[in-house]
């Protein structure tokens, strides 16, 4: 262990308790402006991006699946990321998975405004309205980044984008895609100022996604929860609705699947 590392062996350590609380508590994450990231792929992606700010890299080599993962520790040293080596018991307490990989990090949350996200050229923005399932939100974030969207805005009653399950499922996408939380009223005010075209997603009654005019930009694709749909004030502000026609007997698609189809169709036209 080098002199600039610290070692934590007890699961009762206050530092351990603080990180566990951070992992579980969205309000605390927002207050501290940082979140817990777990797993080799996620940590490797964060280390590979200059704009990502790692406040600490946490590791337990006894849990590593490959000795070569030690190269990530060297990379962290090159970037002058503070290192914390921990015991197996500590890492298992920190982890949110049954079989932890022995690599994690505390990462600073990027700070964005609605205006900044909408300033991207030909901006296509996803507005998550009450999507409470972290798995669905994580899939939408990955699809939005892969489709080249300008960002994702999470409104009230939407899962925290920095929830441990979302972080785990998005990997590099969470680091690459501008993401922010906003109040519906704040978003609608800025959307009006920026002449943003708001489009509602609907299970039926909208224009087919294949014939819809996706070229008008900036454009916000507003996606509601499967159970509740869009909030009234958001739906009322949307000038048009878009629908994915279905030939089968299912009433609707999974919200993340539907969002992914629409995002790639929007960017293909």
Same domain, residue pair 127 and 194? yes
Same domain, residue pair 255 and 163? yes
Domain membership of residue 211 as a residue range: 114-268
CB of 142 closer than 8 Å to CB of 166: no
Residues 6+ apart with CB under 8 A from 91: 58, 59, 60, 63, 100, 102, 104
Paired tokens of 114:
């609605």
Q: Domain boundary residue among 60, 85, 108?
A: 108
Q: What's the mean pLDDT in 8-22?
A: 97
Pairing of strands 151-154, 179-181: parallel
Question: What whole-number distance in Å separates Cα of residue 242 and Cα of residue 213?
Answer: 10
- The per-residue pLDDT for 172 is 83
With tokens 């100022």, the residue in question is: 193
CB of 90 closer than 8 Å to CB of 18: no
Residue 263 belongs to domain with CATH number: 3.40.1280.10
CB of 234 closer than 8 Å to CB of 184: yes
Same domain, residue pair 91 and 162? no
Q: Domain boundary residue among 41, 74, 108?
A: 108
Residues 6+ apart with CB under 8 A from 229: 202, 235
Same domain, residue pair 170 and 256? yes
Q: Give this prediction's pTM.
A: 0.92
Same domain, residue pair 61 and 176? no
Q: How confident is the model at residue 249 (pLDDT cuts 50, 70, 90)?
A: low
Is the bond preceding residue 118 a cis peptide, omega within 30 degrees?
A: no
Render pLDDT for 34-85 as a digit per residue (tens, 0 to 9): 999 999 999 999 999 989 999 999 999 999 999 899 999 999 999 999 999 9
Q: Domain boundary residue among 83, 108, 133?
A: 108
Q: How confident is the model at residue 268 (pLDDT cuts 50, 70, 90)?
A: confident
Which residue from 113, 120, 114, 131 is spatially nearest to 191, judged by alpha carbons? 114
């Amino acid at each position: 262990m080098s002199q600039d590392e610290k070692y934590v062996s007890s699961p009762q350590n206050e530092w351990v308790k603080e990180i566990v609380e951070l992992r579980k508590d969205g309000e605390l994450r927002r207050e501290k402006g940082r979140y817990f990231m777990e797993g080799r792929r996620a940590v490797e992606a964060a280390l590979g991006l200059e704009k990502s700010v790692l406040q600490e890299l946490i590791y337990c080599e006894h849990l590593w699946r490959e000795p070569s993962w030690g190269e990530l520790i060297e990379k962290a040293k090159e970037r002058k990321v503070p290192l914390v080596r921990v015991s197996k018991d500590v890492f298992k307490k920190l982890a949110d998975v049954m079989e932890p990989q022995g690599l994690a990090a505390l990462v600073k949350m990027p700070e964005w405004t609605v205006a900044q996200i909408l300033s991207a050229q030909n901006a296509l923005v996803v507005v998550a309205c009450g999507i409470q399932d972290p798995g669905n939100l994580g899939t939408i974030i990955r699809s939005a980044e892969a489709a080249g969207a300008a960002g994702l805005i999470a409104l009230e009653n939407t899962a925290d984008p920095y929830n441990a399950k979302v972080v785990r499922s998005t990997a590099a996408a969470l680091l690459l895609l501008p993401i922010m939380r906003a109040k519906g009223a704040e978003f609608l005010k800025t959307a009006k100022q920026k002449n943003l075209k708001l489009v509602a997603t609907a299970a039926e009654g909208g224009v087919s996604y294949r014939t819809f005019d996706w070229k008008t930009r900036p454009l916000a694709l507003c996606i509601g929860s499967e159970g509740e749909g869009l909030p009234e004030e958001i739906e009322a502000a949307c000038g048009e609705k878009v629908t994915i026609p279905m030939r089968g007997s299912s009433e609707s698609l999974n919200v993340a699947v539907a969002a992914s189809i629409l995002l790639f169709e929007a960017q293909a036209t």
